[in-house]
Amino acid sequence: MSAAVDAPVKVGFVGLGNIGKPMALRLAGADDVELGVYDVAAGPLEELAAAGARPAASVADLAAEVDVLCVMVRDDDQVRDVMGQVLGVAGDRLTVVVHSTVAPDTPRQLEMSASRHGVKVLDAPVSGGGMGAAEGTLAILVGGSDEAFAAARPALEPMGKVVHCGPIGTGTRFKLARNLMHFVAFTAATEAQRLAEAAGLDLRALGDVVRHTDAITGGPGAIMHRESTAPIAPDDFWFGVFEHVVALGEKDLTFALGLADELGVDTPLARLALDGLAPGLGMPHSALHPTSTQTEEHP
């Protein structure tokens, strides 16, 4: 007698945009997922139908038939609109997974409303963009109860690396912390481009070098191994590592700022970085910092 085979998990996906559509396509290709989809646009529905998914006539119709409902719409208002169509239709079997990046308090508000109808909620924003969605390599940052996470996990794993960050709302906070670094780094890149352009350099070549070296060093993530942002004691392993980072960083930033002054280029982020690098790493400034002294105490 052959062993019993688990039934496929019934998943619904609402919102088939630039990231939602490739996410849904990954689910459509998963062996253990039975997928239904909904979007206001006909084109993505036709593409998902061709991939084996079943288009639904409405959000409510979809929610009434699935165990996990993934939501990837534009903003908080659209997420609330979808949730309003779900509540009252589905019973306590349903787990709603909000992939949209929303305000920090929104997931908890959604959970409170949904719990009155027996519906479970996870906030699960993603990082990795359209390419990560298409390749199934997204980072999926999940906040919510263990019970809700266990229910939704089979629907999440085909789409990427799943990280259970903690209770409801922690997925969104995780995403916001990650994207703070992302877009500050983008702004720093534009500052570097202005400096390079004023110096007569090839901006495309600079971009090639940045992508090449970040692939080797890990970029900003290379310094993110500690479990605390507290000051580092001199006998800590990381003190020696970051002492080198601070010395190198303050030297290069000082030279870059000197070049910027010479060329008349405004580089406010670089000036903030010169002052903030060492204390941000939990370290004293190096001797090269303009305000440092040989007798400076460890912060």
Q: How many C-beta atoms lie closer than 10 Å to residue 129's C-beta? A: 12
Q: Residue range 151-155: average pLDDT?
A: 97
Q: At CA 170, angle to CA 165 and CA 174, rounded to 5?
A: 80
Beta-bridge mates of residue 13: 37, 70
- Give the residue with greater pLDDT, 292 vs 15: 15
Q: Residue range 115-119: average pLDDT?
A: 94
Q: Residue range 126-132: average pLDDT?
A: 96
Least confidently predicted of 1-10, 199-208, 230-239: 1-10
User: pLDDT-derived band of residue 3, with 50, 70 and 90 as boundaries?
Assistant: very low
Q: Residue range 62-70: average pLDDT?
A: 97
Q: Residue range 87-105: average pLDDT?
A: 92
Q: Any idea where the domains of the chain sit in the sequence?
A: 9-174, 175-280
Q: What is the pLDDT of residue 289?
A: 87
Q: Residue range 27-45: average pLDDT?
A: 97
Per residue, the 3-state secondary structure of 203-252, as one string, reads: HHHHHHHHHHHHHHHCHHHHHCCCCCCCCCCCCCHHHHHHHHHHHHHHHH
Q: Residue range 86-112: average pLDDT?
A: 93
pTM above 0.85, yes or no: yes
User: pLDDT-derived band of residue 183, with 50, 70 and 90 as boundaries?
Assistant: very high
Secondary structure letter of residue 6 according to DSSP: P
pLDDT at 198 over 50: yes
pLDDT at 295 over 50: no
Q: Residue range 207-213: average pLDDT?
A: 97
User: CA 57: distance to chain centroid?
Assistant: 31
Tell me, which fold does domain 175-280 have in CATH?
N-(1-d-carboxylethyl)-l-norvaline Dehydrogenase; domain 2 (1.10.1040)
Contact 52, 27 (CB under 8 A): no
Q: What is the pLDDT of residues 37-59, one digit of tens each?
A: 999 999 999 999 999 999 999 99
161 included as an active-site residue: no
Beta-bridge mates of residue 255: none
| DSSP three-state, residue 95 | strand
| Catalytic one of 10, 21, 120, 175 | 175
Domain 9-174 listed as CATH 3.40.50.720: yes
User: pLDDT-derived band of residue 89, with 50, 70 and 90 as boundaries?
Assistant: confident
